[in-house]
Structure formats: C-alpha cells, structure tokens
Amino acid sequence: STGVSGQTAETDEQGKFRFVAVTPGIYSIGASRDGYISADFGVRGGIRMPRQFGIYETERWEDVSFRLDPWGVIAGRVKFGDDAEPAMRVPVFAYRKRYWHGAVEYATAASARTDDRGEYRLSGLRPGNYIIAAIYDKPRKLSASEEGPAQSPHEVDQRVSEAPPTEPSYASTFFTSATRISDAATIEVRSGVEMPGVDLFLTPTQSTRIRGRITDGCTGKPTIANIE
C-alpha cells in the first residue's frame, strides 16, 4: 500500500532474518524454501498474524517466527494398458476436491509430465487427499491437405467428410484404473512423506472427432475463433 517495492531477506545460520527501514503502511509477509511448503503468514507472540497487517512509525517487531513443513510427494509410472509399455510425455495431474457455493470442484494442485521411462513426480503437495490423473491426448499426423487453414467452405466440408468419425486412443485415467473422476481413489499425502508406486495404466478407447465451421454472424463468412 506504500507504493514502494517489497523487501526480501535471507536467514542466517540460526534462521534469523531482519528488515530495516520499513516504510509505514500495510504489509504481508511470507517465507519459502525449496523442498518445503511456503508459509504466507507468521506467528508473533504465539498468535497467528493476519495475512495483511499495519506497520506504524517507531514500531520494532522482534518476535515474528515461521514454521516451514516439508512438502509431500507422489511418484509413479504411466503405462499403456494394452501392452504395459511406458507412456512418454503424458501430463499427470494431482487434484484436490473442494466445495464452492455448494458445488464440488476439483482444483489442480500439481502437474508434471512423464519422462522417457514413463515416470512422473508430483512435488510441492500440502497434506491432504488427492486424486491422480493421467491425461492422454494422442497426436494425429495431419495430411498434406490439412496442414494449412481451409481456403473455402467447400474445402472444410471435404475435410470433414473424409475424416474418420473415430480413431483409437486412450482415455483419461484416474488412479487406480477409473475413467471417471467420481470413481477415482484418493491418496492421502502427509508432510515430508514421498508416496512412490502410484502407477496408472491408460485405458484403450475410441475417441470421437468433432469438426465444423465457424462463420461471422454479420457477414456469413468464415472467421477465426477459439473452440473449447
């Protein structure tokens, strides 16, 4: 609130830190370290500090402390369910369930991609229950006629008519082997504990292809748009 940039400091060998010449105003304070869950509030005099607090002239605070807990880790492998071969470069997500205005939501807590051995590692997790999902999006090589944008509505219609309606792929798979998030098993993560062996086997499926044309509502001509 003072219009000046914030200050940073590093702790010494005893874990002590110090900020000097602090401009009076409204502040927040936090501490972070690799391998530990960041703390966005401190404790002063045994009482938890608010996320925003006021610093006034001539004040001197000497009893602000932080407790940093080590983060949890979930690790495992992603394989193809039909031949158990490693699935490379597959996105893996850790979700946490939460309630928002009475409805259930799943928020992404961490994400990673598998390496050349199909292995992944999700770090930086706070203690709690998580759902793990491998989201596979099989790339399809475009034909020469599809590499560029269609030049006319007729070309769009021709591409749609020539494209097969379905193609082999793999469904998004939730631990242990569910294809729906409501059927997924939860994994309890504790502070400082690594959970290895959380393996996922991608379920073979037939994916459906949806294609079409977007036109300008005023001119009736094809237009560029984002489709979700």
188-217: pLDDT as tens digits = 999 999 999 999 999 888 777 777 888 999
Please tell me the pTM assigned to this model. Answer: 0.69
Residue 183 is given by DSSP the state G
Joined together, the tokens standing for residue 71 give: 């983060």
Which of the four pLDDT bands, split at 50, 70 and 90, describes residue 56? Answer: confident
Report CA-CA distances (Å) from 195 to 31, 127, 221. Answer: 26, 12, 54
Amino acid at 224: I
**Each residue's pLDDT tens digit, 78-125:** 999 877 899 999 999 999 988 888 888 889 999 999 999 999 999 999
In the three-class reduction of DSSP (H, G, I as helix; E, B as strand; rest coil), residue 152 is classed as coil
CB contact set of 174 (below 8 Å; sequence gap of 6+): 131, 132, 133, 180, 181, 183, 184, 185, 200
Beta strands of 52-102 (E only): which ranges? 53-55, 64-65, 72-80, 91-100
Nearest to 80 by CA among 199, 207, 184, 208: 199
Q: What is the mean pLDDT of residues 53-59?
A: 86
| Nearest-angstrom CA–CA distance, 167 and 118 | 23
3-state secondary structure at position 146? helix
Mean pLDDT on 169-198: 90
